[in-house]
Amino acid sequence: MLSSCDFLVIGSGPAGQKAAIQGAKSGKSVILLECEPTIGGMCVHKGTIPSKALRESALKHRQARELLNVERPTELKPLMQMVDSVIAAHDKYITNQLDRNGIQCIRGKARFENEKVVKVTEPGGKERLIEAEHIFIATGSKPRKPPNINVDHECVVDSDSILSMNYLPKSLIVLGGGVIACEYASVFVNLGCEVTLVDRFAQPLGFLDQDLPKRFLDVFERLGGVFVGNTTVVSASSDGFTGAEITLEDGSIMKAEKVLVAQGRVSSLAGLNLEVTGVEVSDLGLIKANENCQTNVSHIYAIGDVIGPPSLASSAMEQGRKAACHALGKPRDELLSKFIPSGIYAIPEMASVGMTEAEAVSRFGKPIIGRAEFNEVARGLIAGSEEGMVKMISDAQGDKLVGMHIVGAGATELIHMAQVALTNQAPVSSFVDQIFNFPTLAEAYRVAALNIQGQLALASTVPDAAIAATEDTTLPLPRIAGV
Amino acid sequence: MSVTQLVPQDDTYTRFEARLESGDLNLPLLPKVAAQVIQLTSDQDADSQQLAKLIQGDQTLTGHVMRMANSAAFRPASPFVSLQQATARLGMRTISEIVLATSLNSKLFPLPGRQDLLQKYWHDSLSISVWSREIARMRRTNVESSFLAGLLCEIGKPVVLQTLLEGEFVDPADDTRIDNFVSKYQKVAGMILVTRWELPDVVGCVISETAAEGKDDHLETMLNVEGASALVQGGSDVYGLSESLLSRLNFYPEDLETLEELKTVVNEWLEAVAD
């Protein structure tokens, strides 16, 4: 049986959903394929939503232990009680949205027969053929399986299986230094587990402005976590007795009840039979796509994790919309999609948009860095968010905002003010001119902006050497990067 | 679950149900070592070292562990000569599985005459447990719960058989009638045992095929065991699984190929642990 449609979207995660809806709203006939029983992709069922629900529980438990001397929890499932209801509600919302837009959802796995026709196999083996004018590959990613590590999903787990544990392990080794590794490491340390984070780099989260991972590690280690950097793991497996063990390159062995392998993700392209389409795939296994997410085969688009970083749900959604618009001949305003914030739901939360300090130094020579600690604003003190910090980066003149980096409670929400400011090219002074609610963490923006203005004022009256000499003694201290 | 809901149509059924409802059953005690293993797998504070000592004190169990360690299922580079070496090689979880599989065996029910049926029930349970474990692994769901629930999901069968024969409800040679009773009452009998042995919630959910309130997470384990049971009932014919079940398991043709490949692992495990 051969059916046809205008848009065939393979994968119903954030990228696929938005591409499908964009197409349907423009009057196109759209079929959305999903190989899992429910819509939403890994983001909803194995990743973003479940892990964030656990994070909320971890925060509450830590507060309860600190305030009420409550014992650490032993079971994992009760900590995730709200997950099922959140997923069900989200699933219902998305399904309704797809229905409203007349999108036909089909459960099955896709395999290209040729560049226009896809064979869909349902669980159990029933097959059908679908021909489409435009095809969007949004099959997402899955945990990378390093060849030297035996992931048995029992003692050695990955991010897909870690939440299947019934009981909280007493000890956990997390391999990796990326977002998933740091999020889970911080969640489990907040739940009272002995957590060791092992990574090959000197500091985790290397893609962020360096002040953020430093602050993250401070909090992680204060809670009892251990970070082992600059270390290569030779092997990891069940220890053959009570848990798991890893062997490091120097021959030393570390043991824990469980090992979480979070050493990156790889795109899920297996079974698509892309070879028959001529779509180019990079050496890293990512589909090559241009700025419109269009592959070298003009009617086939690739969106979301299959094209690699930033691998964020938010950027995937934007890619889905952008690709669909391009296919529809409706180019999107480039400015709209220029600044995409990163959010890391570790404890503490981190968020970032625009240039890092290192990038700004490389671009401007001496960018001006404005800082504000959360303990400088009333809301931060009230909320006990002392570890929080805002770092504002401007050009060398202290006028143009070029980057913002936030660590602490509410960081992933706060960052959007900077995103809007960057998008609208608002000057640093605009944060001084605004009246913010009191008490709020948003005041930290003003403190950081004032910090930049203070440095400008100081720089106009005092030589550089004098600024450097006073750098460590005054708080909040005017500081110029690179000085 | 009420016994009277289960279609009693003749006098024997009525009398048998009355026996079940009265609770006057000659139930076996949960072996101490099995109880400790269940505790170990469901209580993170259980002392695994103590359990190892317990195993060492049980000659039969030690023999099983040694045989298992040296079996094709684990393919040692050279034969193990000590229990310590074998336990270190197999791992505590595997040891736990062996202990459960060997202690919850057909000998729990000393029933002369129909040991053949008891043996079959035990072998089926063991097969279900190993398949449940592998299906759980494939589906990224909890491996330990699935093994335990799979092993005990048909524990009601020997209870029904024992009650039938001890009470002379049926002719011991009448396989058809025995099958009818067993299939009709095994869940009820299993649930009685779950209560008596204070087994974990998940086992009761799997036996009754009903997720307890607030225990939605058991649904995945229930599905794993259902898949395993269907495989065992179908003679491990992975391509004979129903479309509906495959849909719920979310198994595609390539997953069936994986299951087919796992047959060797499962069979080796079963051979190693078999009497």
Q: What is the pLDDT of residues A234-277, one digit of tens each?
A: 999 887 656 789 999 999 999 998 999 999 999 999 999 999 99
Which residue do the tokens 């409802």 mark?
B21
pLDDT at residue number A187: 95
- Nearest by CB: A77 against B217, B252, B254: B217
How far B220 CA sits from the closest chain A CA (Å)? Answer: 10
- Give the gap in angstroms from C-alpha B97 to the nearest C-alpha of chain A: 13
Bridge-based pairing of strands A117-121 and A109-112 is antiparallel
Among all chains, which residue has been given the structure tokens 């618009």? A325
Name every residue whose Cβ is closer than 8 Å to that of residue B255 and which is 6 or more positions away in sequence. B138, B249
- The answer to whether B217 faces chain A, any CB pair under 8 Å, is yes
Taking 50 as the threshold, does the pLDDT of residue A316 lie above it?
yes
Shortest CA gap B160–chain A (Å): 32
Nearest in space to A160 (alpha carbons), one of A136, A137, A141, A182? A141
Listed ranges A39-48, A458-467, A468-477, B216-225; the one with the highest mean pLDDT: B216-225
Q: What is the CATH number of domain A348-470?
A: 3.30.390.30
User: pLDDT digits over A282-312, tens only?
Assistant: 999 999 999 999 999 999 999 999 999 888 8
Question: Does the pLDDT of residue A382 top 90, yes or no?
Answer: no
- B250 touches A: beta carbon within 8 Å: yes
Question: What is the model's pTM?
Answer: 0.80
Name A167's bridge partners. A75
Q: Which region among A43-57, A256-270, A395-409, A419-433 has the lowest average model confidence (pLDDT)? A: A43-57
Q: Which of A74, A107, A241 sits opposite B44 (nearest CB)?
A: A74
Percent of chain A with pLDDT over 90: 71
- Enter the tokens of residue A438: 């009191």
Using 50, 70 and 90 to split pLDDT, how confident is the model at A419?
A: very high
CATH number of A156-263: 3.50.50.60
Lowest mean pLDDT among A221-235, A466-480, B54-68, B251-265: A466-480
What's the confidence (pLDDT) of residue A434?
87
Question: In angstroms, what separates the C-alpha of A298 from chain B's closest C-alpha?
Answer: 30
The pLDDT mean for chain A works out to 90
Min CA distance, A336 vs chain B (Å)?
Answer: 39
Asked whether the beta carbons of residue B141 and residue A168 sit closer than 8 angstroms, the reply is: no
The reply to whether domains A2-142+266-338 and A348-470 share a CATH topology is: no
- Contact by Cβ (8 Å): A410, A400: no
In this complex, the residue of A84, A124, A241 whose CB is nearest that of residue B246 is: A124
Report the candidate in B200, B202, B198, B236 with the shortest Cα–Cα distance to residue B217: B202
Spell B115-154 as b/e; 16+ CB within 10 A means b: eebbeebbbbbbbbbbbbbbbbbbbbbbbbbbbbbbbbbb
Which tokens in the block code for residue A146? Answer: 């390093």
Q: How many helices (H) and strands (E) does chain B have?
A: 14, 0
**Cβ of A240: how many Cβ atoms within 10 Å?**
17
- Identify residue A463 by its one-letter amino acid code: P
| Partners of A401 in beta bridges | A394
Contact status, residue A135 vs residue A118, Cβ threshold 8 Å: yes
Tell me the shortest Cα–Cα distance from A367 to chain B, in angstroms: 48
Contacts of A121 in chain B (CB under 8 A): 252-253
- Cβ of B143 and A154 within 8 Å? yes
Tell me the ipTM for this assembly. 0.78
Which residues from chain A sit within 8 angstroms of residue B140, using beta carbons?
46, 153, 160-161, 164
CB contacts of B247 in chain A (<8 Å) are 37, 107, 122-124
Strand order in the sheet with A368-373: A342-344, A350-354, A401-407, A389-394, A368-373, A479-480
Which residues of A lie closer than 8 Å to B, measured between beta carbons?
35-37, 46, 74, 77, 81, 84, 107, 109, 121-126, 152-155, 160-161, 164-170, 238-242, 257, 271
Could you read off the pLDDT of A163-203 as tens digits, one per residue? Answer: 888 778 889 999 999 999 999 999 999 999 999 999 999 99
A159 — phi, psi (to 5°)? -70, -15
Tokens of B157: 């069968």
Mean pLDDT of A75-91: 79
Q: Is B166 on the interface with A (CB under 8 A)?
A: no
Q: Which residues pair with A258 in a beta bridge?
A: A172
| Shortest CA gap A217–chain B (Å) | 28
Helices (H), A384-476: 411-423, 429-433, 443-461, 464-470
Q: What is the pLDDT of residues B230-261, one digit of tens each?
A: 999 999 899 999 999 999 999 999 999 999 99
Q: What percentage of chain A carries pLDDT values higher than 70?
A: 94
- Compare all CA atoms of chain A with the CA of B246 and give the residue at the minimum distance: A124
Write the pLDDT tens digit of every residue in A444-483. Answer: 999 999 999 999 998 887 665 555 544 443 344 444 443 3
Residue A74 — very low, low, confident or very high, per pLDDT cuts 50/70/90?
confident
Average pLDDT along chain B:
79
CB atoms within 10 A of CB A97: 15
Residue with tokens 């078999």: B274
pLDDT over 90 (residue B29): no
Got the DSSP string for B110-156?
--TT-HHHHHHHHHHHHHHHHHHHHHHHHTTS-HHHHHHHHHHTTTH
Percent of chain A that is helix, strand, coil (3-state, to 5): 35, 25, 40
Q: Does A123 contact B87 at a Cβ distance shorter than 8 Å?
A: no
pLDDT-derived band at A130 (thresholds 50, 70, 90) equals very high
In this prediction, residue B131 has a pLDDT band, given cuts at 50, 70 and 90, of very high
The topology under which CATH files domain A2-142+266-338 is: FAD/NAD(P)-binding domain (3.50.50)
Nearest by CB: B252 against A77, A121, A166:
A121
Distance of CA A431 to the CA centre of its chain: 27
Name beta bridge partners: A246. Answer: A236, A254
Reading phi first (left if > 0) and then psi (alpha if -120 to 50, else beta), residue A458 is in alpha
Q: Is the pLDDT of residue A154 over 90?
A: no
Tokens of A218: 């401070």
Tell me the chain A residues in contact with residue B45 when contact means C-beta distances shorter than 8 Å: 74
- Burial class from Cβ neighbours inside 10 Å (0-12, 13-18, 19+) for residue A360 reads buried
Return the pLDDT at A307. Answer: 96
Query: Can you give the pLDDT at residue A240?
Result: 60
- Interface test mutation site (partner B, options A84, A121, A166, A188, max chain B beta carbons within 10 A): A166
The residue ranges of every structural domain in chain A are 2-142+266-338, 156-263, 348-470
Q: Roughly what angle, to the nearest 10 degrees, separates helices A81-100 and A48-68?
A: 150
Nearest CB to B140: which of A74, A153, A242? A153
